[in-house]
A and B are shown apart, each in its own frame.
Chain A
Amino acid sequence: MQDAAAAKHDAQEFEPKVVAFLCKWCSSAGSDLAGVSRLKYPANAVPIQVMCSGSVSPIYILSAFNKGADGVLVSGCHPGDCHYLKGNYYARRRIFLVQKLLQFIGVEPDRFRMSWVSAAEGVKYAEVITDFVNDLKALGPQTKLKAKR
């Protein structure tokens, strides 16, 4: 029984589903750069481009989990570099709170990530995704917010 459970959680078998909200100006451009540099990272994360990390409403994140995401990434410009000056500062505050809340109800903190990836940080983007997916593999499927219909 235990072995079976362990096997189920085997990193090989479980492919986490990830949604990555990328701001148009930095992180999306950074992920483009990762592509241009032909870096390799796991294919688990589907990017959704948004204008600014500041536009990511907490409900987007929660909804992604509800629809079955095992992990959610929000990525924006480094503080001070926001194309819209301060959008990422608002995002940071909001997302800090979302993360605390997720943590509080017992969602593993590693299921949710925020990162700053600039347009020049293709390598960092690849690393963030790789690292995130590895974390998620170890965690197994997300069940708490996923709708069972």
Chain B
Amino acid sequence: MSENVYLPQLARIVHIKDEVPGARAIKTFRVEFMNGGGFDHEPGQCAMISVFGKGESMISIASAPTITDYKQFSIMRSGRVTTAIHDMKVGDVIGVRGPYGNKFPVSDWKGRNLVFIGGGCGLAPIWPVIQTAVANRMDFDKITVFYGGRTSRDIMYAAELEKLRGQADVHLSIDSPEEGWEGYCGFVPANVMDKPQRPDNAIAITCGPPIMIKFVISNLREMGFADEQIYTTIENKMKCGIGKCGRCNVGTDYVCVKGPVYSWAQLKSLPQEY
């Protein structure tokens, strides 16, 4: 067979990092393709991760596009497949096919201010964008990152975020006060409201739980961001990832192909089915 789009490439887990503990734990898996496989990706794109015998899940590629010798996925334990992958150990092999979906149009944003707003697991999809922006730091003006978790233990990429501080304004938050916490206490949208961002020449990129996105967007609109200046991703249920299985269909779009990255302007024109 020439090109079977359904057949994953095999990739070995080479490193596992516990990001967040608890019932909805998040782990970051670093995988290396076997037999010389692999693919390039753009920030925002995803891949289908297979655990054989359990199934497949669509997961954002969390590593920067510039990194070619491995890919990283930050996966929240949520159900059948994600639990199975959480149960795996270094050396185990998974299947990966991709890259799927569109990308954040980072190259269009040259010279602008970037405001990243993430919550919970939602940092993963925008992380490669942050990485890309930071890698080309000179191309952008101000870079601001808002990120929040429920508690300090729910903050993923904690060390990386610390490192980021040199290159960007990083504002972390947790939902309610904790001893020793120096950042903001409260929800992410409130944190954003607390530190208003100037809308002119800015692009806001947000990702997180639907309810958070909803409030973030309304706050951004209040600050004067135009619909075209706001970007987010949507996570409709997906099975094939290549625009066939019909599951992620919203209006005319198959999110796995036309999405998952949307500007708020685009998203508004779609039926509210995500």
**Is there direct touching of A and B in the complex, by C-beta distance under 8 Å?**
no
Residues of B in contact with A (beta carbons under 8 Å apart) = none
